[in-house]
Amino acid sequence: MKAKKISIVIPVYNEEKTIKEIVTRVSNSNTLKLQKEIIVVDDGSKDRTKYILNNLKKKNIRILFHKKNKGKGSALRTGFRQATGEIILVQDADLEYSPKEYPKLLKPILKGVAKVVYGSRELSGKNVHSSIFFHAGGKVVTLVANILYGGRLTDEATGYKVFDAKFLKSLPLKCQGFEFCPEVTALTLKKGEKIIEVPISYSARHKEDGKKIKARDGIEAIWTLLKIRFKNT
């Protein structure tokens, strides 16, 4: 794939402790000579996140604000609509995922091997998850996705997802919250597009540190996978 620019979309909600650091790490990341466009979408934060973002003055950064909290999926879709790069990468704001992984995430797309790449926390065999509960929940959702769509994924719920921008924008995404992951996975596999996984490092955050995903999000993920699988479109 011939690409000149990558759009890195960062959805943010109440991340005053980490937002400045993650933007710095992304700004300094290696994107294999691709021009870098950083799009931060604040999803109605109620802490000091908005204040910190308003005082960030860095090159190639666009900051967008939702007036009220709508959910991660909604923030991502806002970012995707504004993205101008040929490649779009999703970056969480909580420091669980390291921008040092960008080169290995980008290579399959740049080589034309795939239009969608996931960074798998499972493939390295070294990562420690925040809890057995979260880890087991992720494995169940991944298993359901593989059964329903004939996939061979190891980490459906990973925060690192990279796309050919044209392909991503062709998907009829409707997600509002954490159902972004199962929705984009289901729509991709239903189209017959393969998803390449590469091993990544992972520094798990715990609930007391601000981790936001809950048990009901896992149930919603499975419902989303089922709904799209049997929808007549």
Residue by residue, pLDDT tens for the chain (233 residues) are 889 999 999 999 999 999 999 999 999 999 999 999 999 999 999 999 999 999 987 778 999 999 999 999 999 999 999 999 999 999 999 999 999 999 999 999 999 999 999 999 999 877 666 667 778 888 999 999 999 999 999 999 999 999 999 999 999 999 999 999 999 999 999 999 999 999 999 988 655 554 566 778 889 999 999 999 998 65
CB 56 within 8 A of CB 145: no
Would you state the pLDDT for residue 54? 92
Q: What is the pLDDT of residue 131?
A: 66
Domain boundaries, the chain: 5-229
Fold of 5-229: Spore Coat Polysaccharide Biosynthesis Protein SpsA; Chain A (3.90.550)
Among candidates 100, 101, 95, which has minimal Cα distance to 18?
95
pTM attached to this predicted model: 0.93
